[in-house]
Structure 1
Amino acid sequence: MTANVARQDSQRRALFNGQARRTSIRVAINTSDSLVASGLHAMLRATPGIEVVSIEEQPEVTIAVADDSSLPELLSAPVTSRLVLIADELRQAELWTAIEHGLVVLVPREEAATRSRLLQAISDAREGRGDLPPEQLGTVLRGLKQLQETTLRPRELTLSGLSLRETEVIRLLADGLDTAEIAERLIYSERTVKNVLHSLLNRLNLRNRAHAVAYALRHGLI
């Protein structure tokens, strides 16, 4: 093998290794039980495609293992990644707190003992595929209904974060209509349309109308 061929081969290996590192899922473990932490570390370090990191190293997914006494402490940490929570019988307030801290997948403790289930949970969390036990999902849906009825609807907001009026204006803006055309279509004054857009841009910290349309499309709001 010539020096040039050897160098090219080395470069290809370096490129491949770099791609492999980038496609690995960076996972942190958060638990107060040292034995559980050691077991999870041993399992995940032996798994291709998983890179175990500390919470300070910006993981993509954090696995938190909780019991009744440790859950408040685990959920007091700042949100830094998508959360896989291993826990049983969460109360409604605890479930909402977990969601506020990035909960994507909730795994009952007995299921987490299965390697394949844990790896599926990590993969789902990284891709943003939510997974909750049926009883917990029911709690979330009931909570969202209550939120809509008691908090959002009186303020003319929806679960999307936009009011019905804002949604109408942004949808027409995305269709290419200008202020006068939107006002005519919705039977508003031009000043009302401008005020709706101004309020939306300020609340969501958006730069301009194009940014507002891009935001709405990217988040599936229109």
Structure 2
Amino acid sequence: MNGTDPTRVLVSDDQTVVREGIVMLLGLLPGIEVVAAAADGEEAVALVERHRPDVVLMDLRMPRCDGVEATRRIRAAHPETEVVVLTTYADDDSLFPALQAGARGYLTKDAGGEEIARAIADVRSGAAGLSPQVQSRLLERLADGAARAAAPSAAQAGTGRPGELPDGLTAREAEVLALIAEGLSNTEIARRLFVSPATVKTHINNLFAKTAVRDRAQAVAYAFRHGITGTQQ
């Protein structure tokens, strides 16, 4: 694909008015071509197989096959197709399963056309397309996780030994993971840690392999689950 080719997008939402509205909105945005629209997750999976879009805008609460399961199936069969969740819900029970299923972006339906276009461009470039509201929610929960992790468990109380990092992560890998969770790019992490971008990339490859995450969005969810944040040393 060259730089002049439009980004091919599939829209999946079970509400006809909403689905048609999103399709109409996307049609007004430069550099975006809507190739299909699905009424549920099952149809979205079939249409991705047929049209091979670059990005799917995915609702979560749908009949037959919900957005999380559809995302998991699409990402497994077509890893070149990115998924941006576009939903009414930003609660933890919606957000983290979607990220763990492979969604790289997450927006709520109050997002405007510019924000949707930016998220689509971000995921196409390999970044995470998260709304400010979702980023704020992630940081809040990461902070909560850090507070819980700082409290010694009954088994560790009095031992003076810090808890071991999960999945064999080294201290440096955990530090890199925390900076990913803060939203820093590889270049910004390299500047923060006074190392080369190549070294950062090596750490990221290693921690992705150890934690079995596929992308930065899943890495953020992993950091939340384990309380790995910039405040944790």
TM-score, structure 2 as length reference: 0.49
- The 1:94–1:159 alpha-carbon spacing in structure 2 relative to 1, beyond 3 Å, is farther
Deviation at 1:61, TM superposition (A): 1.5
Counting helix residues as a fraction of each chain, which structure ranks higher? 1
Deviation at 1:31, TM superposition (A): 1.0
CA distance in 2, matches of 1:156, 1:20: 41
3-state DSSP class of the match of 2:96? helix
Deviation at 1:55, TM superposition (A): 2.3
Percent identity at matched positions? 20
Structure 2: runs of 5 or more not aligned: 36-46, 154-162, 175-198, 208-233
CA distance in 1, matches of 2:171, 2:53: 29
Task: Tell me if structure 1 keeps the 8 A contact 2:60–2:85.
Answer: yes
> What's the CA shift string for 1:8-57, capped at 9, x where partnerless?
xxxxxxxxxx8466x32121111111222212222323433212224222
Match status 1:125 vs 2:123: yes
Match status 1:110 vs 2:110: yes
Q: Which residue of 2 aligns with 1:73?
A: 66
Q: Which residue of 2 aligns with 1:92?
A: 92
CA distance in 2, matches of 1:153, 1:140: 19
Match status 1:216 vs 2:210: no
CA distance in 2, matches of 1:153, 1:217: 15
> What's the CA shift string for 1:141-193, capped at 9, x where partnerless?
358759x999972543359989xxxxxxxxxxxxxxxxxxxxxxxxxxxxxxx
Report the structure number with the largest CA radius of gyration: 1
Letter in 1 for 2:18: V
Q: Which residue of 2 aligns with 1:34?
A: 16
Task: Tell me if structure 2 keeps the 8 A contact 1:60–1:126.
Answer: yes
Letter in 1 for 2:19: A
- The 1:76–1:120 alpha-carbon spacing in structure 2 relative to 1, beyond 3 Å, is same
3-state DSSP class of the match of 2:94? helix
Task: Tell me if structure 2 keeps the 8 A contact 1:63–1:86.
Answer: yes
> What's the CA shift string for 1:115-144, capped at 9, x where partnerless?
222212211222223424244222553587
3-state DSSP class of the match of 1:83? strand
Q: Which residue of 1 aligns with 2:101?
A: 101
Please, what is the CA RMSD of the aligned residues? 4.2
Of the two structures, which has the highest relative contact order with CA contacts closer than 8 Å and spacing of 6 or more?
2
Question: What pairs with 1:42-191 in structure 2 (closer than 5 Å)?
Answer: 42-53=24-35, 54-56=47-49, 57-67=51-61, 73-77=66-70, 78=73, 79=75, 80=78, 81-111=81-111, 114-127=112-125, 128-132=127-131, 133=133, 134-138=135-139, 141-142=142-143, 153=165, 155-157=167-169
3-state DSSP class of the match of 2:58? strand
TM-score, structure 1 as length reference: 0.51
CA distance in 2, matches of 1:160, 1:70: 44
Letter in 1 for 2:120: I
- The 1:144–1:28 alpha-carbon spacing in structure 2 relative to 1, beyond 3 Å, is farther
